[in-house]
Amino acid sequence: MATTTSSAEPLVVGVIFPAKKIARLQEVLDVEADGVRFVLIDLEAATPAGGCATDAELQAAVEGFAARYGPLDALLHKLAHDMVFAGLGDERAACRVRLVQEFVRRHPSVRVVDPIDSVRLLTDRHAACRMLQTLQQQADEEEDDAEQVQRFKGPNFRVVESPQQFQTLLAELDAGRTRLPLICKSVEACGALAAVGVNAGRSGS
């Protein structure tokens, strides 16, 4: 019996990561292994110097992006930073996000990790905490279907939006009304300096 071996084309994965993450993963990304080949995407270089003020500029940028890096089977990205700063008025960050979104819209077969809309939710820690709270309440209300509901417990949280509220939080800690551990982070993910408020996740109440 004769056997034949077929050399399948590798899975091509586009990678959009910050430079510091690329540096740590360079050794892995430079090697084609297990049928996977990584393509490093310079999103800054792919973005028009003048931004994406018009639809024509955006479409031209998408075509250039696809010509340089495509075809892709999957896209692995860390766009949370750009999403945060786009929301704060950074036009180039907004252009980079729009460029990727339009590329994905034009190429629906490309698998995106993680879905951009899911990442957008997680860039707002307060929104993410509220979502977890809602899911937890729904799970608690469905006790009759306990076998079908994955139970979990999310942390208590609060948003500190002023120096006065911060002082109140400190007083609660000193009085023992709020128990440690207490984790304080900016509401916006990625530690944006312009983020307003602090999301405090705490155990106990």
- Alpha-helical regions (H) of 47-192: 55-69, 80-87, 91-106, 116-122, 125-141, 163-175
At 169, list the tokens.
């939080």
How confident is the model at residue 112, as a pLDDT? 95
Task: Tell me how far apart the alpha carbons of residues 139 and 157 are, in angstroms, rounded to a whole number.
Answer: 19
For the stretch 47-81, pLDDT in tens is 988 778 789 999 999 999 999 998 999 999 999 88
Question: Are the beta carbons of 164 and 133 closer than 8 angstroms?
Answer: no
pLDDT of residue 196: 43
Q: Do the beta carbons of residue 22 and residue 48 sit within 8 Å?
A: no
Burial (Cβ within 10 Å: 0-12, 13-18, ≥19) of residue 123: buried
Q: Is the peptide bond before 18 cis (omega within 30 degrees of 0)?
A: no
pLDDT given at position 7: 60
At residue 1, the pLDDT reads 45
Q: Which H or E run includes 112? A: strand 111-113
Question: How many CB atoms within 10 Å of residue 73?
Answer: 15
Q: What is residue 148's predicted lDDT score, i.e. its pLDDT?
A: 62
pTM of the model: 0.71
Q: What is the pLDDT of residue 205?
A: 43
Length of the chain: 205
Q: Which residues of the chain have pLDDT under 50?
A: 1-6, 193-198, 202-205
| Domains annotated on the chain, with CATH | 11-122 (3.40.50.11370), 124-141+153-192 (no CATH)
Burial classification of residue 21, based on how many CB atoms lie within 10 Å of its CB (0-12 exposed, 13-18 middle, 19 or more buried): exposed
- From 171, 186, 136, select the one nearest 156 (Cα to Cα): 136
